[in-house]
Amino acid sequence: MNPKHSEQPKRAYDRDSNVLIVDDDGTLLKFFKIHLNKFFSKVVVVEGAKEALDIMKTKEVDLLLTDVRMPKVDGLELMTKVRKAHPDIPVLLISGEPMSDEQKKMIALADGFLAKPFTVDELNQYILGGIDLRNEMKKLLPHLKDPKKIRETFDAKPDAISKLVKKGDKADVDGCLAAIKSLRKKAS
């Protein structure tokens, strides 16, 4: 048993979270579908960014997990598009390929990065961390004047945050932001 994971508390089967996974490797998609259905009831796997964006137009998604290197639209471009339309959805990246300096800069903007190869337990913990992040984001949204500016709050200075939140909500926002920063740091 890996001591790193033995410390993690066991969580119940997740019946509520909608996990969307994008990877151009069909074999890996089958792996994701088979193994993640042991932990999550709502897992959708697709082979490309266009399919992912189409799904996000019609279905609720709580978490996007995408490979970085894919043909046509890569995971970094997909992350940028998702952030514009759905800034409150965490985007977690995976890759087994070496990254350019420019890609490394973009990866640092993601909500998490997991290098391939990884175990099922590592993947599960990674996704659970992303779900925790999404739950904190959901708590934060009602306190914002403009929910589309949620990501601006993550690294904002206290005086800037006061301009983004509704009056009287600063204490609630501070707690959410502390949790979000901690979760994003763990996932990287």
Mean pLDDT of 9-17: 72
The fold adopted by the segment(s) 11-133 is Rossmann fold (3.40.50)
Q: In which band, very low, low, confident or very high, does the pLDDT at 2 lie, cut at 50, 70 and 90?
A: very low
**Angle, to 10 degrees, between the axis of helix 26-36 and the axis of helix 120-140?**
70
Q: What is residue 144's DSSP assignment? A: B
Is the model's pLDDT at 3 over the cut of 70? no
- Tell me which residue of 108, 115, 185, 126 sits closest to 4, measured CA to CA: 126
What is the pTM assigned to this prediction?
0.88
Mean pLDDT of 48-59: 96
User: What is the distance between the alpha carbons of residues 22 and 43, in angstroms, rounded to a whole number?
Assistant: 11
Q: Which amino acid is at 163?
A: K
Domain boundaries in the chain? 11-133, 139-187
Q: Which amino acid is at 174?
A: D
**pLDDT tens digits, one per residue of 30-44:** 999 998 988 888 999
- Tell me which residue of 183, 42, 69, 50 sits closest to 126, measured CA to CA: 183
Q: In which band, very low, low, confident or very high, does the pLDDT at 128 lie, cut at 50, 70 and 90?
A: very high
Q: Of 42-51, 87-96, 97-106, which range is least confident?
A: 97-106
Is the model's pLDDT at 112 over the cut of 50? yes
